[in-house]
Amino acid sequence: MTRVLIALTSHSQLGDTGRSTGFYAGEAAEPWTVFKNAGYDVELVSVAGGKPPVDGVDDADPDQKQFFAEADLDHTKTAAELTAGDYDAIFYAGGHGAMWDFPGAKDLASLAAGIYENGGVVAAVCHGPAGLVELKLSDGKYLVDGKNVAGFTNSEENAVGLTEVVPFLLADELTARGAIHHPAADFTDQVVTDGRLVTGQNPASARSTATAVTAVLDKN
């Protein structure tokens, strides 16, 4: 059976704003539903393990209802507890918390690099590509170097009023690592597939990013 990991942030504070953050519910729930409907075995991993903080919960959303009912969010594992060879893909869910702890999550980056180098898929949506900023392969190169990507844009960060709050601008950091960033209009569905790297721009792109992952996995 195809096995997929959804990676979640463990960071709960939105800078010094006094507001809380975490993973964005829809960006985990919609991919969870897509992958489950494809017949995949889906698991969760988080930076710190245990119960990760969540943002953007919509109690009326059917995908979120399914996700929170089925996913064992109280007992997520850390990347150090997992083995890359057991998984066919890893999907970094977004949420602003990812901007703080995904880049420095070395075990998570190592796990994702291993999945990729074993022929698997690495995917990320919205702020999830923060997990790609420091992700290097065994040859020392950044995974995103020379690759086409999507991710939360500078314009979108400005639109939500957090340009001065986040520790860096995601699109700029991806570009600095050699990625070719493809921004679409603010908050529209945008997915970029480059081989076995699949990235989406924002929450509106979560479902289609996951669907694109299934297309790549089905070809492999």
Assess contact for 149 and 191: CB atoms under 8 A. no
Q: Kindly name the residue from 27, 30, 156, 157 that is annotated as catalytic.
A: 157
Q: Is 16 helix (H, G, I), strand (E, B) or coil?
A: coil
Assess contact for 209 and 200: CB atoms under 8 A. yes
The residue count of the chain comes to 220
**Quick one: CA dihedral 79, 178, 120, 170, positive or negative?**
positive
Q: Please return the burial class of 8, using the count of CB atoms within 10 Å of its CB with bins 0-12, 13-18 and 19+.
A: buried
157 is catalytic: yes
Q: In Å, what is the CA distance from 76 to each residue of 9, 144, 178?
A: 11, 27, 32
Q: Is 70 helix (H, G, I), strand (E, B) or coil?
A: helix
Q: Kindly name the residue from 27, 30, 96, 126 that is annotated as catalytic.
A: 126
Q: Is 15 helix (H, G, I), strand (E, B) or coil?
A: coil
Write the single-letter amino acid at 75: H
Structure tokens at 19: 């507001």
Assess contact for 170 and 99: CB atoms under 8 A. yes
Q: Kindly name the residue from 11, 127, 156, 173 that is annotated as catalytic.
A: 127
Structure tokens at 179: 């990625």
Residues recognised as catalytic: 126-127, 157
